[in-house]
Structure 1
Amino acid sequence: MEATRAHHRTTAPSAVPVALAGTSGAAVWWDLPPLTGLWVFVFVLSAWLLSLSLREYARTRAALHGGGPSAALGSAALAPTHGAHPLLNVLLPVLFLVMSGIGLPGGAAPAGRHRVPGRARRSLVALAGPATHALLAPALAVPFRLGAMDQAPLAFRFALAFVVMLQVTAALLSLLPVPGLDGYGVLEPWLPCGLRRRLEPPAPYGLLLVFACLWIPAVDGAFWDCVYPSLEWLGVRQDDIYYGLEIFRFWQEEPVVRF
């Protein structure tokens, strides 16, 4: 019985982000000024943390089903935001969100990934992270595609549009073939051993390198040239995203959007 309970615990992601997102989302929907900005901040942040949890959960489950060692991977499946590297997979993505307003996911792979048998399976484990965001984006954008958000409270519409944007940016950025990101993790099993060893030391800094490059105007412009068409296809307007970011930054002295 104890073993059964332990197995059950390894198959359930943490419910804390779900509770936070649900509670704050309801508060945003009912529009409770003057705390609207604060509720939007909590809703967006908790939704982002929830997506990071689902991302790590998907990668862990992919590693387990791929034949990875359950002893190294089981604890991460219980609460992905805790089992993952706390700096790379939680703190830095939250910091990047607050500083720049984009969804830049973490880069650390689940423990034991390199012990998954087969190069193709290891590539699929790395691909599970970006795939999570790529699936969440259209799922969250369904109300926009159906026109249902036209009648929704403005604060909720803007906040949800901002969350969709975070998923799109996370999917695109995590696919970059930069050491330390999932895009490189997809390619890594197929690279020569010598090249992998040379690229291993700078891998922990890959996430910071990508963030720094986004401050270069040419790089930033090219990046958003990829993001905005994807959002337009999903039915999410740029204005809604912009206003969502403005409300999210509730600490600004003179917010653009007033309720």
Structure 2
Amino acid sequence: MNFLAFNLEELPFVVIALILAFTFHEYAHAYVAHKFGDDTAKNQGRLTLNPIQHLDPIGTLFILIAGFGWARPVPVNRFNFKNPKLAGVLVSIAGPLSNFLIAFVAYGFLYFIITFGFGMVVPQFFIDLFNMIVYLNIILFIFNLLPFPPLDGYRIIEDLSPPRIRSKMSQYEQYGVLLFLILVITPLDRYTIWPFINGGREAVGLAFNTIYYGIASLFS
């Protein structure tokens, strides 16, 4: 009996893709925070591409079993920013954007080796790996933009909100976390979160295909 969210034969690709996705996601948060004047993450050794500094054992296990999970959150002190609202938004969006860019590059690799007939030359292992990298990074991109605490999408809304609204959000944040957990660990996710993620994944994939089709047409 397989108790994992993925097939056993997919597991090596999932692990590699997750290490890549989580590492760059958290590094992006730390890098942008550092650029805007907050060295909290840097001082804690998080401004690095060493995956050991970013992976959360329980969060990684959860994504293998339940299909969702998390890395170790990068600490950010917004009081160190000269422009807290702008910097806060950019730091929050940097993580999901890194996943988007990874998926975009990996999709391009697959598109061009198939379009120009290199599929028979490239080992199947790499094709399967890049497919998984695209799949998981698009999902993480969309998932992290959901407007629930403690996800990046919530932090973006929080930073863009006026002080009065932000204080109210902080007051009820614990209930938002509880609602989020209910949605992701109960069958409700089939009717709420996953339809949204799958629809977004299809839209992003179509956008990638359109972009690379346009690029490929320039060389044909």
* TM-score using structure 2 length: 0.71
Alignment correspondent of 1:26: none
Matched, 1:179 2:149: yes
| Correspondence list, 1:1-259, <5 A | 41-68=11-38, 70-74=39-43, 75-78=45-48, 81-83=51-53, 87=56, 91-92=58-59, 94-101=60-67, 105-106=70-71, 108-113=73-78, 115-117=80-82, 118-148=84-114, 150-151=119-120, 152-191=122-161, 192=164, 193-202=166-175, 208-212=181-185, 215-219=188-192, 220-235=194-209
1:206 offset after TM fit, Å? 6.8
Relative to structure 1, is the Cα distance of residues 114 and 81 closer, same or farther in structure 2, using a 3 angstrom cutoff?
Answer: farther
**Cα distance per residue 1:49-98 (max 9 Å; x no partner):** 12211111111010011111x255332113665555x64xx532x23431
> Match of 1:146, SS?
helix
Alignment correspondent of 1:240: none
1:48 offset after TM fit, Å? 1.2
Aligned equivalents of 1:138 and 1:82: distance in 2? 25
Matched residues, number: 192
1:200 offset after TM fit, Å? 3.7
AA aligned opposite 1:73: K
Relative to structure 1, is the Cα distance of residues 108 and 201 closer, same or farther in structure 2, using a 3 angstrom cutoff?
Answer: farther
Aligned equivalents of 1:217 and 1:145: distance in 2? 30
Unmatched runs of 5 consecutive residues or more in structure 1: 1-36, 236-259
> Does structure 1 retain, via aligned residues, the 8 Å contact 2:17–2:132?
no
1:122 offset after TM fit, Å? 0.9
Aligned equivalents of 1:210 and 1:128: distance in 2? 25
> Does structure 1 retain, via aligned residues, the 8 Å contact 2:32–2:94?
yes
Aligned equivalents of 1:208 and 1:80: distance in 2? 29
> Does structure 2 retain, via aligned residues, the 8 Å contact 1:145–1:234?
no
Relative to structure 1, is the Cα distance of residues 52 and 203 closer, same or farther in structure 2, using a 3 angstrom cutoff?
Answer: farther
AA aligned opposite 1:195: K
AA aligned opposite 2:22: L
> Match of 1:78, SS?
coil
> Does structure 2 retain, via aligned residues, the 8 Å contact 1:55–1:129?
yes
